[in-house]
Amino acid sequence: CRGLENGLARTPPMGWSSWNAFGRDFNESVFYGTADAMVSNGMRDAGYEYINVDGGWWEGVDTGHIVRNATGHMTWDRQKYPKGSTTSTVAASSTGTTRTPASRRATETGPCPKASS
Measured CA to CA, the distance from residue 83 to residue 106 in angstroms comes to 26
pLDDT, tens only, 41-76:
998 888 888 888 877 788 888 888 888 889 888 888
Q: Are 105 and 76 in contact (CB under 8 A)?
A: no
pLDDT at 6 over 70: yes
Question: Looking at residue 115, what is its pLDDT?
Answer: 42
Q: Is 49 helix (H, G, I), strand (E, B) or coil?
A: strand
pLDDT at 111 over 60: no
Measured CA to CA, the distance from residue 88 to residue 95 in angstroms comes to 11
pLDDT at 105 over 50: no
Calculate mean pLDDT across residues 29-48: 88
pLDDT at 104 over 60: no
Could you tell me which residues are beta bridge partners of residue 30? none
Least trusted range by pLDDT, from 34-38, 86-90, 96-100: 86-90
